[in-house]
Chain A
């Protein structure tokens, strides 16, 4: 009698997932942690509402003190009466984000210690700004530091970048702060939608043309060597998740941080480049662009799946555009059909 054949697929299908050694939290604990996460964005609400009221009266004294972004009001250096004692805070509306507009030109952060002047903002935002401020050791024209002008507890802020080169919109996307937009004139409307930053906070916007997808525009493009990719702001990592290809990431803190990885092949160079919220194509397509606009911009494309639009491009490359549940672009990659990375390219 022949021995039964070992069928790996049948074994996989019948794999006992079991519960060996699992110690899940109680459901009530999970819900409590989730509730805490929902209200964490409003954790600075009380402090911010106090700050906003007091700042109107004593801006210099307040901003000179050290803020506790987790809720305690900022003690001023010149010791005015405690805000909670002499200035009753308005009752916070838990669901309404608190907006802080810093007076004058904003708060300049030139050293990590300066981040403490961002009273009322969250600790992770202060850490992010401190880290950015550390990156520029010298600037042309002596304009050093980052200037924060406006902040919302909902997870976005605006100001001027290190060295004063452009106006920046920073956002917390999937629990990581990054630079969502950078401009010398107006924000991009599609990007504001993608970043979920309301116009009431950001101000004017327009849908402009960009340079993603253009050769020789100084942005990352398929076929670049490692040196060229690094010069264009892309880091080639050494992770072996996709051998022989490795993943790439942007050197700067972009948005979205967790969905802009690309691929690099030892034979073909940069194989896949993913668009950030600050990029757009020449046809004005970027993250947040509605599907109808994408189809109108690239009628020569075709549906690769329910939520994917594939657009052949010159040089054996293609755009792969993925739509989210809101029928807007959520991921846009420009990729080369490289044999090395075929298993890892959609």
Chain B
């Protein structure tokens, strides 16, 4: 991969991969930092990147592993709201939906969240998801099924199911 090819790859995929990693880990700032680091490593290891079948998946997986590794090493708790450049401060309707989706994803088990994001957001096939996460396809399908059910349960408005229900 030469400089021009890398620059084009980087500029065309940075925002998309950062959004995907944000959905995976729930922290936008951390996602941007890890994706940035992943692209630096991608250029440093451009020989591997050139041989990779799916360079964007290589970057996304590297960024995700960096984020998980850093989180487990430093035990980052949820950052206080006043530290984040929170998109929730913006009150457009689409941002409210995005905030709700992100919050719901964050409540799912990591493996279900990762399967849902890779399949539905990154548009990977079940086979490709299995390859990226290193799990059998049957396991991925089970995680997708359980994840969809869990996401629906979290996001379905209460008055759509029982107008008289109260929050627990």
Contact = CB atoms under 8 A, between A and B. Distances in A.
B18 A22 contact: yes
A19 interface: yes
Given A331-B134, A343-B143, A27 B41 contact: no
B97 A344 contact: no
* Size bracket, chain A contacts: 35 or more
Contacts of B105: 12
A258 B65 contact: yes
Contact of B120 (A9, A19, A25, A247): A9
B23 to A, nearest CB: 7
Contacts of A24: 10, 14-15, 18, 32, 36
A141 interface: no
A35 B43 contact: yes
A300 B12 CA distance: 46
A243 B19 CA distance: 25
Interface residues of B, number: 66
Given A22-B18, A237-B72, A344 B130 contact: no
Interface in B129-152: 130-131, 133-137, 139, 143, 146, 148, 151-152
A344 B69 contact: no
A31 B134 CA distance: 30
Given A15-B98, A15-B101, A241-B110, A6 B160 contact: yes
Contact of B40 (A33, A258, A343): A33
Contacts of A243: 109
Interface in A288-346: 304-308, 310, 322, 325, 331, 343-344, 346
Interface in B108-127: 109-112, 116-117, 120-121, 123
B41 A34 contact: yes
B44 A35 contact: yes
Interface string B50-88: 010000000000000100110110010000000001010
Interface of B: 3, 6-7, 10-11, 14-16, 18-20, 22-23, 28, 32, 36, 39-44, 46, 51, 65, 68-69, 71-72, 75, 85, 87, 90, 94, 97-98, 101, 104-105, 109-112, 116-117, 120-121, 123, 130-131, 133-137, 139, 143, 146, 148, 151-152, 154-157, 160
Given A30-B39, A346-B139, 5 more contacts: A12-B117, A17-B22, A34-B41, A343-B109, A346-B133
8 contacts: A12-B105, A15-B98, A24-B14, A28-B7, A35-B44, A242-B109, A343-B143, A346-B134
